[in-house]
Amino acid sequence: MIVKKTFILSVIVWIAIFTMMVEAKDIHFEASVDRTQVTLDDQITFTVTVSGDVKSVPKPTLPSLNDFVIYSSGTSQNWSFVNGKVFSSVAFNYILVPKSEGKFTIPPLEINLDGTTYKTQPITITVSQGAAEPEAQAPPDTTKPTTKSEKTTDLFVNTTVDKTKCYVNEQITLTFKFFQGVRLFSNPEYSPPTLTGFWVEDLPPQKQYYQTINGRQYFVTEVKTALFPTAAGKQTIGEASLKCKVEDLRSVFDRDPFSILDKDWMDMFKQGKPQILRSKPMNIEVLPLPDQGKPDDFKGSVGDFRIASIVDKKKVEAGQPITLKINIAGTGNIKSVSEPVLPELEDFRVYSSGSSENISKENYILQGTKIYEQVLIPTKAGNYTIPPLSFSYFDLKTKEYKTLKTNPVVITSLPAAETSPFAATPISKSEIGIVPKDIRHIKSVPDVLEKHGGSLYKNPLFLLLQIFPLAALVIALRYKKHHEKLNSDVAYARLRKSHKLAKRRLDQAKKLLSVDKKNEFYSEVARTITLYIGDKLNQPGFGLTKDQIISELSLKGVERERINEIIGYLEQCDFARFAPSSSGTDEMKNFLRSVEKTIVKLEQCLG
């Protein structure tokens, strides 16, 4: 009887222990959405929750959701105390923005806790096209720009272009507007549209103003961008997005009032509700430039330009340099304007010394001046004429090609002066033969002479001292020769000064190490690389193509690995300037250090 009671008691104890273990490991893993039927203009709140007696919860891995754009919107956590036990609930929140209409399934998620795998149930989402919404604002002009917008009660965005049909390399002005009707918890995160097939230029400054729409006042932020299509055909301006966090007092007041001390309840005041706003892609019809009447020297410039050429002096001695400046100014993509071809000049040595730009974006139109410099050194005396230089462009007003020409420039080259390094001082005849009165006569009977050591020329210290004036003379002559060569030989001067100038330009790039100045930073680095290589090879830096760089450096015996590094840096600069990227300050610093190291290695190869 006693044995039977003991057995029953043991069974009861083991059942109680097992029950406590099961309760302790009562874990729930589920996924949910706030809605299963949405339109393309809506977004879905996707929440993954892990609850139970869990001390540490790993972040779940989301399945591949190619039909949605996914944004993380933070994590929240609750604690509760029931029957002497602490239970926790962790929620991982995401925003899903549909890309296209249709029926899609979010597959099950998996998570492993203490050796046990848990799965969620699949969720089916239906996305419809949705009704078209009225435009937020009438177009600013009569060119019938394309306008696409996403609109909500409190926030919406609006994008426009000033024209939907244009020529290659003609400016299109893209305007992005953000209408804000509620307070934001932080600065919105703007992701610009993909602009493949366009040369892109920012058009500061941003405009901010208030506007009343349908009786409600909005704070408007306006951002403009200049786009220059690079090829004919149908080009697409991609989708732009804006991520912001707004007030959500409704969700706060709908919560359990007894959960006021929960961490996620407090976070609602700090973080707000995430909201993703998107624009729609826009198509641009890009017309090819006509072949009829196209000049032979046309290189793709489109707009309205003028040209002039000047020299710093018109009369020089043979062998002395003259600087020829070619100024091209006007409205259009001034950065892409190519250098006019200088006709071959006999009896001249010609060197390109680069170019400079002065860009203006007044009234949100790209314009300015580009200056090319050429150094001309006459080799013989005589009168010479620099023939007119021609520059052709496509005029958008007349829809015709125009060719501009500079005025001819007359230069006089004088014979080089021949001077002797020794100049004799003239002496009058009356001074010749006069005996100086301050010279004492040699005594015929000398005093007693004493011997003081050996001959002076045999003294080692005396011989050593004679070396210093000789060395100083050699150094002075070499310096004079070096200085004269710097002034007369442009190629030698560019070679000797290239490394110093590159270091100075990289120091200038360091001052642009900021995400806000990303485009200026990468432009300065690319400019430094091309000008440095141009100086080393005595080539125009701004006219060097990647194929020329590869060819010329290979001829100089530079290793292929080093050449690939240079080309990679230039491509990375182009990508960072003309394509959307998220380069941080640390990445920009590492990139700058890599460029500095490569230039040092090139200096050792090229001398």
Spatial CB neighbours of 77, under 8 Å, sequence gap ≥ 6: 88, 89, 90, 91, 262, 263, 264
Tokens of 531: 């000008």
Q: Which residue has the higher pLDDT, 93 or 607?
A: 93
Q: Which residue has the higher pLDDT, 564 or 149?
A: 564
Domains of the chain: residue spans and CATH: 25-128 (2.60.40), 147-287 (2.60.40), 302-414 (2.60.40.740), 489-606 (1.20.120)
| pLDDT higher than 60, residue 19 | no
Summarised one tens digit per residue, pLDDT across range 354-374 is 889 999 998 899 999 999 999
| pLDDT higher than 90, residue 16 | no
Residues 240, 188 contacting (CB under 8 angstroms): no
| pLDDT higher than 90, residue 48 | no
Q: How confident is the model at residue 145 (pLDDT cuts 50, 70, 90)?
A: very low
Residues 145, 147: Cα–Cα separation, whole Å: 6
Name the DSSP class of 429. G
| pLDDT higher than 90, residue 77 | no
**What percentage of the chain has pLDDT greater than the value 90?**
26
Identify the pLDDT of residue 268: 46
Residues 590, 597: Cα–Cα separation, whole Å: 11
Q: What are phi and psi of 549, to 5 degrees?
A: -60, -45
**What percentage of the chain has pLDDT greater than the value 70?**
74
Residues 10, 15: Cα–Cα separation, whole Å: 9
Nearest to 36 by CA among 99, 108, 98, 120: 98
Identify the pLDDT of residue 521: 85
Residues 305, 391: Cα–Cα separation, whole Å: 9
Q: What average pLDDT does this structure show over 472-498?
A: 70
Q: Which residue has the higher pLDDT, 171 or 507?
A: 171
Q: What average pLDDT does this structure show over 109-119?
A: 81
Identify the pLDDT of residue 389: 93
Nearest to 249 by CA among 273, 228, 229: 273
Q: Which residue has the higher pLDDT, 193 or 423?
A: 193
CA distances from 539 to 338, 485, 533 (A): 15, 18, 8
Identify the pLDDT of residue 177: 93
Identify the pLDDT of residue 514: 79
Summarised one tens digit per residue, pLDDT across range 173-225 is 999 999 988 888 778 888 889 899 999 999 988 888 888 888 888 989 999 99
Identify the pLDDT of residue 367: 94
For 516, half-sphere exposure in the C-beta direction (CA atoms, 13 angstrom radius) is 3
Identify the pLDDT of residue 391: 95
Identify the pLDDT of residue 160: 93
Identify the pLDDT of residue 147: 42
Identify the pLDDT of residue 311: 93
Identify the pLDDT of residue 212: 86
Residue in the structure block whose two tokens are 């707000």: 272
Summarised one tens digit per residue, pLDDT across range 241-270 is 888 877 665 544 444 444 444 444 445 445
Identify the pLDDT of residue 258: 44
| pLDDT higher than 60, residue 332 | yes
Q: Please tell me the pTM assigned to this model.
A: 0.52
Average per-residue pLDDT in the chain? Answer: 78
Residues, the chain, total? 607
Name the DSSP class of 121. P
DSSP readout, 246-276? E--HHHHHTS-GGGTT-HHHHHHHHH-EEEE
Q: What average pLDDT does this structure show over 427-444?
A: 53
Summarised one tens digit per residue, pLDDT across range 384-399 is 999 999 999 999 999 9
Residues 31, 63: Cα–Cα separation, whole Å: 12
Q: What are phi and psi of 425, to 5 degrees?
A: -85, 120
Identify the pLDDT of residue 576: 75
Tokens of 512: 């642009």
Lowest mean pLDDT among 259-273, 409-423, 450-464: 259-273
Strands 302-311, 68-82: pairing kind: unpaired
CA distances from 470 to 349, 464, 473, 475, 476 (A): 37, 11, 5, 9, 10
Identify the pLDDT of residue 329: 95
| pLDDT higher than 50, residue 425 | no
Q: What average pLDDT does this structure show over 30-45?
A: 83
How many C-beta atoms lie closer than 10 Å to residue 283's C-beta?
11
SS3 280: coil
Q: What average pLDDT does this structure show over 441-446?
A: 58
| pLDDT higher than 50, residue 568 | yes
Residue in the structure block whose two tokens are 């001034």: 334
Residues 74, 264 contacting (CB under 8 angstroms): no
How far the first Cα of the chain sits from its last, in Å, is 105
Residues 145, 102 contacting (CB under 8 angstroms): no
Identify the pLDDT of residue 441: 56
Instruction: Show contacts of 53-60: CB within 8 Å, 24+ apart.
Output: 53/23, 53/24, 53/25, 53/26, 53/27, 53/85, 53/86, 53/87, 53/88, 54/27, 54/88, 54/90, 54/113, 57/88, 57/90, 57/111, 57/113, 58/111, 58/112, 59/92, 60/92, 60/109, 60/110, 60/111
Residues 572, 566: Cα–Cα separation, whole Å: 10
Residues 173, 164 contacting (CB under 8 angstroms): no
